[in-house]
Amino acid sequence: MKKLSVNINKIATLRNARGGHIPDVVEAAVAIQRFGADGITVHPRPDERHIRRSDVYALKNVVFSEFNVEGYPSPDFLDLVLEVRPEQVTLVPDPPEAITSSAGWDCIRYGDFLRAIISRLKEGGIRTSIFLEPDASQVAAAQATGTDRIELYTESYAVGYPNDPEGAIAPFIAAARAAGAAGLGVNAGHDLSATNLAWFASHIPNLLEVSIGHALISDALYWGLENTVAIYKRELLRS
Question: Phi and psi for 41 in degrees, rounded to 5?
Answer: -115, 140
How remote is the C-alpha of 41 from its chain's centroid? 6
Has 43 been annotated as catalytic?
Answer: yes
Has 190 been annotated as catalytic?
Answer: yes
Q: Would you say 129 and 147 are in contact if contact means Cβ atoms under 8 Å apart? A: yes
Beta bridge partners of 153: 189
Beta strand spans in 143-184 (E): 149-153
Q: Would you say 111 and 138 are in contact if contact means Cβ atoms under 8 Å apart? A: no
| CA–CA distance, 169 with 160 (Å, rounded to integer) | 8
Which of 133, 151, 190, 209 is flagged as catalytic?
190
Beta strand spans in the chain (E): 3-7, 39-42, 67-71, 88-91, 127-132, 149-153, 185-189, 207-212
Which of 66, 70, 209, 235 is flagged as catalytic?
70
Has 70 been annotated as catalytic?
Answer: yes
SS3 of 111, please? helix
Q: Catalytic site residues? A: 43, 70, 190
